[in-house]
Amino acid sequence: MTLHRRTFVKTAALAGAAALAPQVLVRTARGADKNRVVFISEESNPKAIAVYDKINADFEKQTGIKVAMEYPGFANIAKRVATLIAAGTPPEIVWYGAGQAMNLALENQLADVGDVLKSVGGVADNLRMVYKGADRSIPTSQQFTYGWYRKDLLQQKGLEPPKTWDDYLKVAKALSNPPQMYGCIVPSAETGASTILLETMFMKNDVHWFEWDANKKQYEVALDKGDQRKRAIETLDYLNELHKQSPEASTFNWAELMSTFVSEKAAMSYYVGARLLEQVMANNSRIADATAPVELPRKLTESYYLSIQGFHILDKANVEGAKKYVTFFLKHPDVISWYHAVPLHIIPASRDMLRSAKYQDHPVIQKRMDVLKFLDSVWTKGVPLYYWDGKELNPYIGLFHNENLAGWMLAMRNIKGMKSDAIVDEAAGQVRKKMRRTG
Amino acid sequence: MSARSERNAWVLGTTAPALVFLAVIAYLPIAYAIALSFFKKTAFNPAMTWVGLDNYRYILEEPDLWRAFWRSLVFTLGAVGLQLVWGLVSALLLNRALRGLTVVRSLFVLPYLLPSIVVALVFQWLLSQEYGVVNQILMQTGVVTRPINFFGGLGTAMWSVIGMAGWQYGSFATLLILARLQAINPKLYEAARVSGAGPLRCFFDVTLPNLRTTLIVIALLRGIWMFNKFDSIWLVTHGGPLKATETLPIYAYRLAFEDFDFGLAAAACTVMFLVLLVGALVYFKLFDPTREIEVGR
User: Exposure of A157 by Cβ count < 10 A (0-12 exposed, 13-18 middle, 19+ buried)?
Assistant: exposed
Domain ranges across chain A: 5-142+307-367, 143-306+385-438
Task: Report CA-CA distances (Å) from B219 to A304, B42, B111, B169.
Answer: 54, 37, 19, 12
Average pLDDT over residues B25-40: 91
CATH homologous superfamily, domain A5-142+307-367? Periplasmic binding protein-like II (3.40.190.10)
**Interchain contact, B129 vs A82, CB within 8 Å:** no
**What pLDDT score does A30 carry?**
52
Q: Which residues on chain A are in Cβ contact (under 8 Å) with B58?
A: 437
Q: What length does chain A have?
A: 439
The domain total for chain B is 1
**How close does chain A come to B162, measured CA to CA in Å?**
17
Q: How far apart are CA A374 and CA A354, in angstroms?
A: 12
DSSP collapsed to 3 states, chain B? CCHHHHHHHHHHHHHHHHHHHHHHHHHHHHHHHHHHCCEECECCCCCCEECCCHHHHHHHCCHHHHHHHHHHHHHHHHHHHHHHHHHHHHHHHHCCCCCCHHHHHHHHHHHHHCCHHHHHHHHHHHHCCCCCHHHHHHHHCCCCCCCCCCCCCCCCHHHHHHHHHHHHHHHHHHHHHHHHHHHCCHHHHHHHHHCCCCHHHHHHHHHHHHHHHHHHHHHHHHHHHHHCCCHHHHHHHCCCCCCCCCCHHHHHHHHHHCCCEHHHHHHHHHHHHHHHHHHHHHHHHHHCHHHHHHHHC
Task: Tell me if A42 sits within 8 A of A96, measured CB to CB.
Answer: yes
**How close does chain A come to B80, measured CA to CA in Å?**
26
Residues spanned by the domain of B111: 55-296
Q: What is the DSSP string of A18-42?
A: HHHHHHHHHHHHHHH-TTEEEEEES
Kindly state whether A248 is in contact with chain B, defined as any CB-CB distance less than 8 angstroms: yes
**How close does chain A come to B6, measured CA to CA in Å?**
6
Q: Which residues on chain B are in Cβ contact (under 8 Å) with A263?
A: 131
The two domains A5-142+307-367 and A143-306+385-438 share their CATH topology (first three levels equal): yes
Q: Which CATH number fits the domain that encloses residue B112?
A: 1.10.3720.10
Predicted confidence (pLDDT) at residue A382 exceeds the cutoff of 90? yes
Tell me the pLDDT band of A381, cut-offs 50, 70 and 90: very high
User: A342 in the Ramachandran plot: left (φ > 0), alpha (ψ -120 to 50) or beta?
Assistant: beta
Strands A36-41 and A93-97, sheet pairing = parallel
Task: Tell me if A149 sits within 8 A of A184, measured CB to CB.
Answer: no
Task: Tell me if B1 sits within 8 A of A4, measured CB to CB.
Answer: yes
B98, part of any domain = yes
**Interchain contact, B129 vs A247, CB within 8 Å:** yes
Q: How far apart are CA B121 and CA B190, in angstroms?
A: 47
Q: How far apart are CA A5 and CA B11, in angstroms?
A: 11
Task: Report CA-CA distances (Å) from B234 to A90, A99, B161.
Answer: 27, 25, 10
Nearest-by-Cβ selection for B20 from A16, A107, A412: A16
B44, part of any domain = no
B275, part of any domain = yes
**Largest distance between two CA atoms of chain B:** 85
**How close does chain A come to B185, measured CA to CA in Å?**
49
**What pLDDT score does A63 carry?**
95
Average pLDDT over residues A414-428: 96
Nearest-by-Cβ selection for A251 from B1, B12, B151: B151
Does A76 or A15 have the greater pLDDT score?
A76
Average pLDDT, chain B: 88
**Interchain contact, B241 vs A402, CB within 8 Å:** no
**Interchain contact, B262 vs A86, CB within 8 Å:** yes
Q: Mind listing the pLDDT tens digit for each residue in A62-116?
A: 999 999 999 998 888 988 998 898 888 899 999 999 999 998 999 899 999 999 9
B43, part of any domain = no
Q: Please provide the CATH number assigned to the domain covering A143-306+385-438.
A: 3.40.190.10
A 61-80 residues inside an 8 A Cβ radius of B = 78-79
Predicted confidence (pLDDT) at residue A294 exceeds the cutoff of 90? yes
Tell me the pLDDT band of A153, cut-offs 50, 70 and 90: very high
Predicted confidence (pLDDT) at residue B193 exceeds the cutoff of 80? yes
Nearest-by-Cβ selection for B237 from A88, A251, A411: A251
Q: Which residues on chain B are in Cβ contact (under 8 Å) with A1?
A: 10
Average pLDDT over residues A363-379: 94
Task: Tell me if A268 sits within 8 A of A160, measured CB to CB.
Answer: no
Q: Mind listing the pLDDT tens digit for each residue in A228-266?
A: 999 999 999 999 999 999 988 888 889 889 999 999 999
**What pLDDT score does B108 carry?**
80
Q: Which of A203, A209, A371, A221 is nearest to A281 (CA)?
A: A371
Nearest-by-Cβ selection for A82 from B12, B43, B238: B43
For A104, which residue in chain B has the nearest alpha carbon? B44
Residues 6+ apart with CB under 8 A from A33: A318
Kindly state whether A104 is in contact with chain B, defined as any CB-CB distance less than 8 angstroms: yes
Q: Which residues on chain B are in Cβ contact (under 8 Å) with A4?
A: 1, 9
Interface residues on B facing A, Cβ-Cβ cutoff 8 A? 1, 5-6, 9-10, 12-13, 16-17, 19-21, 23-24, 41-46, 58, 129-131, 147, 149, 151-154, 237-243, 254, 257-260, 262
**Interchain contact, B16 vs A11, CB within 8 Å:** yes
Task: Report CA-CA distances (Å) from B156 to A102, A154, B13, B127, B290.
Answer: 38, 36, 56, 11, 39
Q: Mind listing the pLDDT tens digit for each residue in B237-285?
A: 999 899 999 999 999 999 988 888 899 999 999 999 998 888 888 888 8
Substitution target from B5, B242, B245, B255 for chain A, most A beta carbons within 10 A: B242
The pTM score is 0.83
Rg of chain A over CA atoms, in angstroms? 24
- The percent of residues above 90 in pLDDT, for chain B, comes to 40
Q: How far apart are CA B12 and CA B20, in angstroms?
A: 11
Q: How far apart are CA A211 and CA B38, in angstroms?
A: 34
